[in-house]
Amino acid sequence: MLRRQRPRKPVESWKGPKPKLPMQITYLCRVHYLDLQAYLAKVYRMEDYDILRATGVVSGVHPEFLVTGRLPPAGNINQQVDNIRRGRKTRSLDLILNVLCADGFIPKGKYVINTMQLPDPVYVYTQLLNKHQDPDHGDCVAFRNGQEDPDFQRRAKVLDKLTREHKQEQDNERT
C-alpha cells in the first residue's frame, strides 16, 4: 500500500508577546585548584590544604559547586564553620566555598574547579624563547614578570643569557 505524502502546513511563528521563562541568572566562576588552595591559605590560614584529596577527585576532573552563601542552621554545622574560619581543614569544599561567600570573600555563583596540572613554567618560557628567539620580546618579558618563583627567575636568567649568546653567534656567522 502506497501512502502519499501530503504537504504539511508550515509551522506558524508565535503570535503576540512571547512568554518569559522564569529563571535565575548566575555567575559561572572557573578557578584553578592551586589558586584556590593558595587563597584558602591566605584567607583562612589553611596551609597545605589539598583540594584533590578533599574532593576525592583525580587531576582532570572538574568538580562543580553551587555557592549561595547560605549556611545550614544545624548546630554541628556552626562548629564546622567556626573551625573553617580558624583554619582547620575539612573535606567539605562545598561548605568552605559557602563560608567564603557568606564572609564576603567570593560572589555567589556556580564554581567549576579546574584540576588540570599546570605546565612547568620553565618549559613554557623555553617554548616562548624558541618561538621568538629574543628574551626581550614582549611575550617573553610579560611571562617572566608574571612568575614569582625565585627558582624560575634564576633559571630564566640562564636561559636568557644562552639565547642571547646563541643569537650573537648566529649574527657573527652571517657576517
Question: Given phi > 0 = left and psi -120 to 50 = alpha, else beta, which region is 94?
Answer: alpha
Q: Does residue 29 sit in helix, strand or coil?
A: strand
**Residue ranges of domains in the chain:** 28-114, 121-168
Consecutive sets of 10 residues in the chain, 175 residues long: mean pLDDT of each? 69 78 82 94 92 90 93 79 89 93 94 90 91 92 90 92 89 81
User: From the CB of residue 97, how many other CB atoms can be counted at a distance below 10 Å?
Assistant: 24
Global confidence as pTM? 0.62
pLDDT computed for residue 2 by the predictor:
60
| Torsion, CA 65, CA 70, CA 72, CA 77, rounded to 10 | 80
Angle at 151 between CA 145 and CA 153, to 5 degrees: 25
pLDDT computed for residue 73 by the predictor:
77
Q: Does residue 31 sit in helix, strand or coil?
A: strand
| Torsions phi, psi for 65 (to 5 deg) | -135, 135
**Cα–Cα distance measured from residue 84 to residue 105, given in angstroms and rounded to the nearest whole number:** 14
